[in-house]
Amino acid sequence: MKRKLIKQGKGGYTITLPIDWVRDQNLEGGDDLTINTKDSTVTITPDKISIPKREIFIRADKIETSVRTLLANAYRAGFDRIHVTYTGDKDMLAEIIQEHLLGFEMLTQKEKNYLIESVAEPSYDDFETIMQRQFHIILDIIRNIEGSDVQRHAVMIQKYDNFLKRCISKRFFSPESGPFFWQLISNLTQISRQCYRLNKILLKKKKIFSTKEKEYLAEIEKMFALLQKSYFSKDLSHLMELHIIQHKLFYEIGPKLLQKNQEAHYLMYLARLIYLANSPLTGYLQIISS
């Protein structure tokens, strides 16, 4: 898209803004815009972002996983009102909303039609705070993986996952960094889920880690701490050590541990998930440092 520069009196210049963009932002004559310049790039941002509420109509069956997937993806996609035609258990629907849709509530019900709407979402400006909280919670899960709070923390991580992805869909991130952040958030959630799976096995079988398993888990904790440190400091150099630890756990220590205990594959997979999270983090850090 090109625009001609129009010369005004006293040395000023103007350009016209794309009408579709003006309408999408709900702007009118006299509204204030913030203009930022960097090298040859000019960025124009409305001072008051007023985006109309988006609605979606979906039909859900009675299967819990199907309902959860439909609602979570509508939420992540940035819809503010979700109209659901649903013939299943109302309590199950309410539980899904509470556990997965941060800031949303079921407002109205007419026969088998429900309106689920945003009523008390956190500010999208809290993205970074919540992102850092994810790291803190997961590190605590790893350190206390034999404890009784892992499930509760894993549920919170999933709820945060959905909200953070919703922020990305709402375009509160640049198009360049958004995909990397989306993948990083997914990786963090997978790490917490794997911890929860391992925790269930430990509690069910009343199992206690052996000395070798505790040593392996301590290395996993180091890996995640490096991932956290790299994100917080926005410094790629910490990830090199993560690669070194991953190679040792997967190709040296892991196979020997697996020979003695088949359940060690849960620990090995956890290490693998942390390693995979370093890729989108690397991509994001490269973008912001360029």
Residues 39 and 132 in one domain: no
Asked whether residue 184 falls in the same domain as residue 242, the answer is yes
Phi-psi domain of 219 (left: phi exceeds 0; alpha: psi -120 through 50; beta: other):
alpha
pLDDT tens for the chain, 290 residues: list them: 788 888 776 677 888 888 877 766 767 777 888 888 877 888 888 776 656 788 999 998 888 999 999 999 999 999 999 999 998 889 999 999 999 999 999 988 888 899 999 888 888 888 999 999 999 999 999 999 999 999 999 999 999 999 999 999 887 666 678 899 999 999 999 999 999 999 999 999 888 888 999 999 999 999 999 999 999 999 999 999 999 999 999 999 988 888 878 778 899 999 999 999 999 999 999 988 87
**Within this chain, do residues 108 and 145 fall inside the same structural domain, yes or no?**
no
232 Cβ contact partners less than 8 Å away, ≥ 6 residues apart = 132, 135
- CATH number of the domain to which 247 belongs: 1.20.58.220
pLDDT at 174: 65
The reply to whether 251 falls in a domain is yes
The verdict on residue 194 lying in a domain is: yes
268 with 165, same domain: the answer is yes
pLDDT of residue 262: 74
Indicate if 182 and 249 belong to the same structural domain: yes
Say whether both 171 and 103 belong to one domain: no
In a domain, 209, yes or no: yes
Say whether both 81 and 184 belong to one domain. no
140 is a domain residue: yes
Statement to judge: residues 276 and 166 lie in one domain: yes
Q: For residue 203, is it within any domain?
A: yes
Q: Are 15 and 35 in contact (CB under 8 A)?
A: no
Q: Is residue 234 part of a domain?
A: yes
**What pLDDT was estimated at residue 289?**
82
Whether residue 219 is found in the same domain as residue 104: no
pLDDT for 8: 79
Closest to 69 in 3D by CA, of 82, 80, 55: 82
Domain holding 39, by residue range, is: 6-46
Question: How many domains would you assign to the chain?
Answer: 3
Q: Is there a single domain that holds both residue 107 and residue 148?
A: no
CATH label of the domain that carries residue 113: 3.30.110
Nearest-CA neighbor of 187 among 123, 242, 121, 244?
242
Q: Are residues 201 and 228 in the same domain?
A: yes
Residue 205 belongs to a domain: yes
Q: Give the DSSP per-residue string, 250-264.
A: IIIIHHHHHHH-TTH
Q: Is residue 1 part of a domain?
A: no
CB 117 within 8 A of CB 105: yes
| Domain closes at, from 95, 118, 141 | 118
Q: Do 255 and 270 have their domain in common?
A: yes
